Amino acid sequence: MTAKNYACANTTAYTFYGYWCFYFVPVLFAAREHLRIVRQYQ
């Protein structure tokens, strides 16, 4: 766990930062991993 992950975990999902940490960041990482895997198989 990085400091950023701890900061995200310590905020609630109802705050502005909590929204970005819990919804936007995971989607961003998932999309990046998906693109990496897709490129690997092309």
* pLDDT tens-digit readout, 6-34: 555 555 545 666 666 667 777 888 899 99
| pTM greater than the 0.85 cutoff | no
Task: Give the residue numbers spanning the domain of 11.
Answer: 3-40
The number of distinct structural domains making up the chain is 1
* CA pair distance 7, 14, nearest whole angstrom: 14
| Cα separation values, 13 from 2, 25, 31, Å | 19, 13, 21
Residue 16 pLDDT: 67
Local confidence band at 4 (pLDDT 50, 70, 90 cut-offs): low
